[in-house]
Amino acid sequence: MAVATVNLRAVTSWVGIARLFAIVLSCIAFSLVASTRAFGGPYGTWCMFTWCFCFAVTLLVVLLELLELYPKLPLSWDDFTSAFSMLATLMVFTTSVVFPSTFINSPCSGSKCARQAVATTVSCLCFLAYAVEVGLTRAKPGDISSFLSTVPGLLKVFEAYVACLIFSLLDTFSSEAGLQWCVAVYSICFIVTLLIIIFTIGRCLSYLPCPLEKMLVVYNTLALVMYITATILWPLYSFRGKSRPESCGRDCWWNKHLGVTFLTIFNLIAYLVDLVYSTKMVFIRAPP
């Protein structure tokens, strides 16, 4: 009969402590918001999903490491935890911005608003906990044993997440060829980036026809060129000959297209930095 072993370092190491903080803070955040019963609509649903999802997955990660069950999983555990902590950092950061801007009105008074303000503060602390975990688990320069814990790997998660944000704002756009090309750029780069992440976590990189580092240089170069065209064409075709509507609320097409413009620039910068680091991984080896 097998005896279960307990790895206390899963909760006593700095990474484990950061995860425990994230679990507690995310639980407090969604509990406070749930008690207000004011989280309707797509933005409220997103915020509640983020806190619940991060709470559940982080708790699962801690339990699997505590009971030392993760080696039995058919995946690269270090890559999975690095990718998730980066994803959780981005999701909680977005939620910490979206929730107060959507649900907290000025002036803020009453117990309901107080709970919403505390939930926002707790969510910001939860973001810091995940950011600390990313910093603690990031690979040292020259170490590529866990790709998704390196700067290029973390950037891959960032690029995929930003692309998802872009898709969430693409509910309305005209059928002009320039805008359709931009959507194709976002889609193609998202799919390839997501496949790289999945192949890395699933330990399928050995099936690639060439080393990952060299493939990344080629892909990042193509993605950078494609995003340069999207950065130029999206605002050109979206705002050419059009002025901002007088009554332009949160769901106004102008604001959404402006958001896509800035997110495109963010991903352009990310792919540029990614290309620089990927090139260094191929041509500049760290001394042994």
pLDDT the model gives residue 171: 74
Q: How far separated are the first and last CA of the chain, in Å rounded?
A: 44
How far apart are alpha carbons 90 and 266 in whole angstroms? Answer: 13
| DSSP symbols for 149-182 | GSHHHHHHHHHHHHHHHHHHT-S-----HHHHHH
Q: Are 103 and 44 in contact (CB under 8 A)?
A: yes
Lookup: tokens for 64:
């699997």
How far apart are alpha carbons 274 and 12 in whole angstroms? Answer: 33
Q: Are 230 and 182 in contact (CB under 8 A)?
A: yes
**pLDDT per position as a tens digit, 207-262:** 777 787 888 899 999 999 999 999 999 999 888 777 777 777 667 777 788 889 99
Sign of the torsion angle spanned by Cα atoms 244, 235, 180, 42: negative
Judged by average pLDDT, the poorest of 26-40, 52-66, 83-97 is 26-40
* CB within 8 Å of 4: residues ≥ 6 apart: 67
- Say which DSSP state 138 is in: S
**pLDDT per position as a tens digit, 7-16:** 888 888 999 9
Q: Binning pLDDT at 50, 70 and 90, where does residue 271 land? A: very high
What number of other Cβ atoms are within 10 A of residue 45's Cβ? 11
Name the CA radius of gyration of the chain, rounded: 21
For the chain, domain boundaries: 1-142, 150-287
pLDDT of 285 higher than 60: no
**pLDDT per position as a tens digit, 204-218:** 877 777 787 888 899
Q: Binning pLDDT at 50, 70 and 90, where does residue 286 land? A: very low
pLDDT the model gives residue 97: 93
